[in-house]
């Protein structure tokens, strides 16, 4: 099949590009600022390109790339009858403790709002083609996160600290901060698997299990140092995420 992949230079996008090519698909690519290939020539659009920083505070910038462009790409796909996959985020749940797809949401950052607004746009503007959205939980992987800096997964950041400093710094109370960490391979496999299914919807994409930040840090076998959480994170920091995978597993 012909597939247009956005965000191919990113961490998840890079793994997605390799997997799609290995699966035998003819892949066209797009990164923000490049020339967008023809949508009409595609069988699928896999849209995962976005400003992924949860600490980005330039609202106009985030909405322009994450919402406005996503809406334009989705509309072009609808008009051309092209199937569409897109990445959303568990950040839309905010500080809630219920992680079902139909549960109330609580977006706390421009990034989370941009993702939720696009979900609503898709819901309110249905397509005759297949449309599949995935709320990623905390994605990590073996390589490709180097460019993400503070936005890299704890696995990547802690590994770098362990190798370069011989110790790992984590926030105070990190033993109580539990997240659903999902390997990037599961994200990629889900996208490709669902391309073979004639079903539209929005699904959580995690593991349904949690691990504390302290457990992740201690797995590297070096001393752990606790530091205060910056004030800028305190009102939006998710202390607990755990994907309810019931709906996903019913399709999978």
| Residues annotated catalytic, as ranges | 111, 148
Name beta bridge partners: 169: 225
Q: Are 135 and 88 in contact (CB under 8 A)?
A: yes
For 76, the token pair is: 């072009």
Q: Tell the burial category of 109 from Cβ atoms under 10 Å away from its Cβ (0-12, 13-18, 19+).
A: buried
Q: Are 105 and 116 in contact (CB under 8 A)?
A: yes
Within 13 Å of residue 239, how many CA atoms lie on the same side as its CB?
12
Query: Which secondary-structure segment (H or E) carries 184?
Result: helix 184-194
């Amino acid at each position: 099949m012909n597939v247009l992949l956005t965000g191919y230079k990113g961490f998840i996008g890079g793994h997605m590009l390799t997997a799609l090519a290995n699966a035998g698909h003819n892949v066209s690519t797009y990164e923000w600022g490049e020339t967008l290939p023809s949508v009409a020539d595609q069988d699928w659009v896999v849209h995962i390109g976005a400003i992924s920083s949860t600490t980005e505070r330039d609202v106009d910038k985030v909405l322009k790339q994450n919402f406005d462009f996503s809406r334009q790409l989705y509309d072009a796909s609808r008009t051309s009858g092209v199937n569409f996959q897109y990445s959303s985020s568990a950040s839309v749940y905010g500080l809630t403790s219920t992680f079902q797809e139909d549960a109330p949401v609580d977006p706390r950052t421009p990034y989370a709002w941009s993702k939720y607004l696009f979900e609503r746009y898709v819901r309110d503007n249905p397509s005759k083609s297949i449309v599949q959205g995935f709320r990623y939980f905390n994605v990590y992987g073996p390589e490709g996160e180097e460019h993400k800096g503070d936005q890299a997964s704890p696995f990547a950041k802690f590994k770098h600290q362990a190798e370069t400093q011989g110790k790992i710094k984590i926030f105070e109370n990190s033993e109580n901060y539990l997240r659903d960490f999902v390997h990037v391979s599961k994200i990629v496999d889900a996208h490709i698997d669902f391309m073979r299914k004639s079903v539209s919807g929005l699904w959580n994409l995690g593991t349904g299990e949690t691990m504390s930040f302290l457990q992740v840090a201690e797995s590297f076998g070096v001393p752990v140092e606790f530091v205060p959480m910056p004030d800028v994170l305190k009102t939006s920091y998710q202390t607990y995420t755990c994907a309810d995978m019931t709906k996903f597993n019913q399709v999978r």
